[in-house]
Structure 1
């Protein structure tokens, strides 16, 4: 009788085990547990597979939004269980030693969950064939000895997990059946052992984002089955071993961001390559001509090396080519003409080389191009007409060549173009009126060409235009009055043309204008009084035909030279100009009274209209929000309700606008202050397409926004702004943050409301902000790349303690997305790392560069972009041009900082220079930055030698103990 009833008891026990699992785990949206009822057979449960005897064989619950702690003591009683798949969930807590009781497991996936603590010894799981722990949050030392008995292991995925630094584990070298080894970003250091060549079944070998050094062992050439080899972002040296020629099945090869040298001839034998990434090394010699015959090649990145010679002319013509980036080399010859032959190319990046010849006409019809960058070469001939009208292009950058011809009317089709950079060429003809149809233009840089005719009147219709550089051309006619409608413009430069007529008074209404240069023209009439309302850092109206009085607001020494060469101007306070005649007619008091009455009436009417408008907008806005259905996800104990937040989202509470949404200040009845960011999930400019995108290669992964909010909600750090909750609807999202009373660091340093910040406070802000970024890069379960680090995103509390804020552009590094790709221009001009301007691959070192710019702001008190920088263009280049002598170094320091602190300030300046190294691999990590900032003794610094053309950069070490020795950095 006992034997007869045993199977029933077994099934009854398994039912209870699965019901226990259901009760331990919560799921929010997938309804995977709907079928898990006691009345049903366990074999009919979603995610459960049984064997022929009706016992549970597999549990497949990956990617189901599960939350909770695994009851392993129960699960491992399933005696027939050979597969446990729980990846891509939100399981937390520690994994206990009970896992070792699942003796029959062949497949174990716990990856992409925020577990904590050490991973236990699992040496008893001798039958394992697949082990996935990537992106799982475990810490400490991994129990490598556990692997010794797993002789059948074929897949080992431990990457993107913050284990302690350790040498390459010898235990792995005994796993002869391995075909996939994923050890990316898990703190492995030292040399790659030659015995790696004994793992001859390997198909994928991924060792990127580690601390590996020394040469690539030639024994890797024994891995004949290798399909993917990833060595990106290590400290490898030496040449590519000749043995790599044997890897004829290799399709993906990435050895970028190392210190490799020599030629790259060996890749000419890898005829099946789909993607070749060797950027940011010291490779020299030519590009193998065999690449022109590769039938599968679609991605090629060789930028920032020392390569010479031509590119194969058939390059990219065989497959659906994606992008090429060979910038910052010494390549010569013509541009290969057929890389867009299949009509799929996204980016052509060839800037800063010595390419010659004409732009191939084939690219004029390459409608898939988003980035077209060929600046700083020796190209000539007429720019193909269609280039100007590429429909989805973000950047057209053809500057610093000898190109000719006009900008054609095709530009009307360039609806997504943000940057038009064509300065220092021989372009000519009239600027087409259709340029006003390129509504996404942010920067127009057409200076130093031969353009003639009138400036299109409609250019003022470009509402987000920031920079308009038209100097050194032959433009004539008047300055368009419509420029007064360009509410976002900060720089207008039309110097050295033949413009005539009067300066439009409408320019005085531009709220963000800080640079205005009309020098060297034939402008006449008076200088508009409205310009006095602007807060200009640079104004230059010299050498024109202006007449009348110079406005009193321009009568200070700061504007010396701004009005010379205008014999008709007069001034009552500037001695170098003739005195203005005394006024006649009405007395001064009468004129003042009339002016005040008119001004008062105007202000009263404007205020009344604005009040009525705000009331109407506020009423409509609140009604639309109330009509939506909201879902609240809290991450802390809340002292407010959903309605209190919704009632506060009104124009009167608006305190800021950004690229990712509007920010409102909320005052709760209990006196607590909050900041609420309102984000619209759809964008009318993109055809209503949702901005939420997949964050994973696997279908069904939660969208980018949900993944980001979930990660940020788990962040607990004193220097990262606290996220209380999210309140979402179908169309909108409200993110509720703590409110910081002292605004942003940008406000304190640069705005009209800036206040004196002593050096001690600046230093504490630097250290605190660095610790916040260090936590994001090194302290989270998965590293978070902010991608928009800047002083306006560093908020200050009432005690001036900093918080890193605004993660609208942040990316969470996923285990299965080792290479972060982006197809939009993210970040803020002046803070963007050089590599981000012409590549799709970024990492934490891009944040380090941006933080270095923030340190330079703290040291100098200057903004990242200042008119005084002139040809140097940004603060990094400006500072590099200053570090030649003791006097020039000291001139960098903000004069508001007392001299007694100068030596301490220079120490921080050294760190800033290290952070802004053009070579990402040479920048310190944020962990190192924190250590250097906290170091009280003189620090050892790596000096930077920057070649004028940016192509030849060498590194040398120097111990710098004083301000004088900083002068060694040249």
Structure 2
């Protein structure tokens, strides 16, 4: 019999198996510990919804699947928690994640001092704490984070000096400290960071070095020097030529003067130069050996001389940005042959000669902007040869000839602006139907053409005035569905206004004056709900003025002068408040609406012999006083009148008796007819409110949706403001909607800078909103009085008002859940109490954002002309940036004293201010002369610039209200003294976190609706 032998494992194998099992158990324990740390971190941060998926799991490595976590070999190495609305502080146990190398906490709500608890994260290489609310100094022992390669602390409130220990972080490749409040001098120790590739000192509030420190000579490996808006003064030193490894130089938005060093353009590794918005003068270096240059941005300086011929030798050049200088001479032809060139912006110089014919033929040109020069000849034929061209902006030159036919086959085009030249011929047919064309602006030329029936659906703005267009406005105009602005003044159109033109709901401006239009104005224009300006003057239109004009909710300007309109002026026009308003030189008869009987409209009705008025405030005869009004009445009319008087007397006696009989009975019924909803304890009754509304002397104002009354509630001079919204069959549904919106919004808001809603009272026929009374009325009234008389609203009060409004809007945007978008921020909706504290009012247009960060859209544009953000008018999509734009307009009103619709019928105050600012003018010249004092000059300049940034064309380039408030509060502590460069003083606007790039496109500066 054979015996079975037992299998005996070798001892080394058993030991190995034991080690593997032990290692696996240890790994599982490690994973479980890290998961527990993350769960505890979530709890410490009070379980924010943004990381609500951080929950325990039986799978010990489950946390490695969370999107905010990066693991290597099941160990947490990176935390990505940007923009998660996390607050409080950073706990010390975060460093119990022993292999953590990267922490990204930017754009949250962290507060307190720099978290020294992170010193225990011994392997930390990447730390991003930017865009939070940290304060205090950066610790002197910051070099304890010895392994750091990237340190980003920008957009906080760090103060004090930049510590010398920063120069001991030898592994640093990137250091970003911009948008803080450091003081003192630039630490030369940073020059010891031999591996540094990116240095960001942008927007530093108090760092004032006289020039770049000499220690920069040691930064041989420096790839990027970014000191934008650090308020550097003096000249760029020649030593810049020693920084041979430099790849990106950004010294933009400072106060640098003098010439550009020749050595700068000799750096062989240099790829991008940003020197825009300084005070550099002299010529651009003519010898350029930096052959790797891809971007040159020297815009908004005082550079003179010619554009260097050597630029045409740069084979890698993508962008040449030289606008807003004083360059002269011709554009070198060789630049047009650079094969990589995509961006050419040379506008607002003194360039002359013809444009190089090769532009676009050898490269994928995207932006071609040469406006406001003295250029002659034709536009280059091959601009869109690469099929990528988005914009042609060449207005205000002396260009001649026809448009390039290639533009008719360029579907990438978004804007063509060639106003004020001498261009001739027809418009290429394909240009009208270019798929993406949004703006076509060809006014003030010599084009001879007809309007086509088929136009691209993307067209938003069409300007063709002062040309030789003829024929009819095509009936297919109803297909131009997105058209917002149509300006066709002073042409040769000879037709009736087609009814189809009234089918454009997005139209905000319609100017077709000075043509040969005839026939009636269509009566079904009620669909023009967005229309703000209508000018049909100097035509041959006849018939009656349609009543429907009086029901256009946003119409602010109306000019029907020099036509053949007849009949009476519809009383419905009195519902609107026009600026301007002109019905002169027609055949109108009868009495003008009472609302127009004031001096503001004294010249609005001239040369209408049949018109009269009941007062002498306008240049019209008094009704009933004319010679032709002495009519010979029939004799029996006297007899009839006697009978009528007798009947009325008897009726009056009867009514007086019945009134006394029912008075006590009806008084008891009043309360039952009205429904009272109180939001706080009241010291008045419904009867007190209702009785006061009967006295018209209590009326203090009138808005778009109702009248406003001042009502005394007690004998101690306590007052409330009551807004009455009366039902109207035409507007019943819309008014009800506004009423509910205002009640819903204000009943939830509790803030010192938002008007307090005390209660609402409603009945079948009226709605009453009762607010706290604001003794000093609206900001608009004070600014208007200041413009018209010697009544002064001084700068300290204006600045106080600006801060108050900013605090209210900041609360609405960042302190309410969901956020509230007002949509109609303007000076007339800013009320002032007895101490001139500002409170935001009129929430009838307020909109709640259903999901934060997801803009909603509405069917009709709401708001007021001059305050409406351009993207809102175009797309009807809303987010908080439309309020920022409107607030920026208010800041411009406060600083300049001008109205929001200042300028002409084509431009608003915001557009005027942008042009003024970009034109390099002295800001002091824009300020309100009535309050412009040396002791307030710096602060006024700061607020003016902040208004400029808030009204930037692109929403992404505007700051959020939280940042705006921060800068206003900071500006309150800046010294208010005047010096020779007061208008160029360092401005808190440079802290704007939303500005990605200082570069400017001329398309950002032209006026848009």
Residues 400 and 423, structure 1, Cα contact 8 Å, conserved in 2: yes
Distance 2:533 2:480 in 1: 19
Partner of 2:193: 175
2:285 is equivalent to residue 211 of structure 1: no
For 1:132, which of 143, 147, 151 is the aligned residue?
151
Distance 1:220 1:786 in 2: 50
Partner of 1:150: 169
Shift of 1:339: 3.8
Partner of 2:254: 234
Partner of 1:417: 459
Distance 2:160 2:980 in 1: 32
Look up the SS of the partner of 1:343 in the other structure: coil
Distance 1:393 1:244 in 2: 40
Partner of 2:669: none
Look up the SS of the partner of 2:413 in the other structure: coil
Q: How does 1:380-459 map to 2 (within 5 A)?
A: 380-411=424-455, 413-414=456-457, 416-459=458-501
Distance 2:262 2:882 in 1: 30
1:916-966: CA deviations, max 9, x gaps? Answer: 689979x9x99998899999999679899xxxxxxxxxxxxxxxxxxxxxx
Partner of 2:900: 864
Q: How does 1:241-260 map to 2 (within 5 A)?
A: 241-246=261-266, 252-259=272-279, 260=301
Partner of 2:709: none
1:400-423: CA deviations, max 9, x gaps? Answer: 333332222233x33x43332222
Partner of 2:742: 664
Look up the SS of the partner of 2:119 in the other structure: helix
Partner of 1:802: 838
- In structure 2, the CA distance between the partners of 1:20 and 1:563, relative to structure 1 (3 Å rule), is closer
- In structure 2, the CA distance between the partners of 1:176 and 1:534, relative to structure 1 (3 Å rule), is closer
Partner of 1:346: 390
Residue ranges of structure 2 left out of the alignment (5+ in a row): 1-18, 280-300, 649-732, 757-769, 849-860, 875-880, 917-923, 952-963, 984-1009
- In structure 2, the CA distance between the partners of 1:290 and 1:227, relative to structure 1 (3 Å rule), is farther
Give the stretch that moved more between structures: 741-750 or 228-237: 741-750
- In structure 2, the CA distance between the partners of 1:297 and 1:776, relative to structure 1 (3 Å rule), is farther
1:664-686: CA deviations, max 9, x gaps? Answer: 3238xxxx83359xxxxxxxxxx
Partner of 1:271: 315
Look up the SS of the partner of 2:225 in the other structure: strand
- In structure 2, the CA distance between the partners of 1:334 and 1:375, relative to structure 1 (3 Å rule), is same
Partner of 1:466: 508
Look up the SS of the partner of 2:549 in the other structure: helix
Partner of 2:182: 164
Look up the SS of the partner of 2:199 in the other structure: strand
1:596-643: CA deviations, max 9, x gaps? Answer: xxxxxxxxxxxxxxxxxxxxxxxxxxxxxxxxxxxxxxxxxxxxxxxx
Residue ranges of structure 1 left out of the alignment (5+ in a row): 595-649, 657-661, 677-716, 723-737, 811-824, 882-888, 894-900, 945-970
TM (norm. structure 2) is 0.62
2:359 is equivalent to residue 315 of structure 1: yes
Partner of 1:186: 204
Distance 2:970 2:108 in 1: 35
Residues 592 and 611, structure 2, Cα contact 8 Å, conserved in 1: yes
Distance 2:946 2:485 in 1: 23
For 1:770, which of 798, 802, 814 is the aligned residue?
802
Residues 459 and 482, structure 1, Cα contact 8 Å, conserved in 2: no
Look up the SS of the partner of 2:454 in the other structure: helix
Q: How does 1:276-295 map to 2 (within 5 A)?
A: 276-295=320-339
Q: How does 1:887-906 map to 2 (within 5 A)?
A: none
1:660-711: CA deviations, max 9, x gaps? Answer: xx943238xxxx83359xxxxxxxxxxxxxxxxxxxxxxxxxxxxxxxxxxx
Cα RMSD (Å): 6.0
Residues 102 and 125, structure 1, Cα contact 8 Å, conserved in 2: no
Distance 1:836 1:214 in 2: 42
For 1:850, which of 867, 889, 895 is the aligned residue?
889
- In structure 2, the CA distance between the partners of 1:912 and 1:57, relative to structure 1 (3 Å rule), is closer
1:850-900: CA deviations, max 9, x gaps? Answer: 34532268x57xx43279x6799769979x99xxxxxxx9xx99xxxxxxx
1:529-563: CA deviations, max 9, x gaps? Answer: 55455544554333344566666766766555544
Distance 2:912 2:102 in 1: 57
Distance 2:974 2:196 in 1: 45
Distance 1:136 1:875 in 2: 27
1:401-453: CA deviations, max 9, x gaps? Answer: 33332222233x33x43332222333333222233332333332221223222
Look up the SS of the partner of 2:181 in the other structure: coil
1:820-846: CA deviations, max 9, x gaps? Answer: xxxxx99975469999999xxx99998
2:530 is equivalent to residue 498 of structure 1: no
Shift of 1:333: 4.0
Partner of 1:673: 747
- In structure 2, the CA distance between the partners of 1:918 and 1:798, relative to structure 1 (3 Å rule), is closer
- In structure 2, the CA distance between the partners of 1:171 and 1:449, relative to structure 1 (3 Å rule), is farther
Distance 2:621 2:808 in 1: 57
Distance 2:415 2:389 in 1: 10
- In structure 2, the CA distance between the partners of 1:935 and 1:124, relative to structure 1 (3 Å rule), is closer
Residues 427 and 450, structure 1, Cα contact 8 Å, conserved in 2: yes
Shift of 1:238: 3.1
Residues 205 and 229, structure 1, Cα contact 8 Å, conserved in 2: yes
Look up the SS of the partner of 1:408 in the other structure: coil
1:767-807: CA deviations, max 9, x gaps? Answer: 2233358889999999x999997425646579652257999
Shift of 1:469: 1.8
Residues 106 and 128, structure 2, Cα contact 8 Å, conserved in 1: yes
Distance 1:337 1:47 in 2: 52
For 1:100, which of 108, 116, 119 is the aligned residue?
119
Give the stretch that moved more between structures: 223-232 or 43-52: 43-52
Distance 2:967 2:129 in 1: 31
Residues 783 and 793, structure 2, Cα contact 8 Å, conserved in 1: no
Residues 376 and 399, structure 2, Cα contact 8 Å, conserved in 1: yes
1:460-506: CA deviations, max 9, x gaps? Answer: 22234333222222223332223354234343222222333443344
Shift of 1:98: 3.4
Q: How does 1:300-379 map to 2 (within 5 A)?
A: 300-379=344-423
Distance 1:836 1:417 in 2: 16
Residues 474 and 498, structure 1, Cα contact 8 Å, conserved in 2: yes
Look up the SS of the partner of 1:67 in the other structure: coil
TM (norm. structure 1) is 0.65
Partner of 1:579: 628
Residues 137 and 162, structure 1, Cα contact 8 Å, conserved in 2: yes
Residues 511 and 536, structure 2, Cα contact 8 Å, conserved in 1: yes
Look up the SS of the partner of 1:99 in the other structure: helix
Q: In terms of Rg, which structure is larger?
A: 2
Shift of 1:140: 0.6
Distance 1:652 1:854 in 2: 30
Partner of 2:78: 59
Shift of 1:70: 5.5
Distance 1:591 1:250 in 2: 97
- In structure 2, the CA distance between the partners of 1:168 and 1:845, relative to structure 1 (3 Å rule), is farther
- In structure 2, the CA distance between the partners of 1:418 and 1:926, relative to structure 1 (3 Å rule), is same
Distance 2:485 2:215 in 1: 54
Look up the SS of the partner of 2:469 in the other structure: strand
Distance 1:530 1:236 in 2: 59
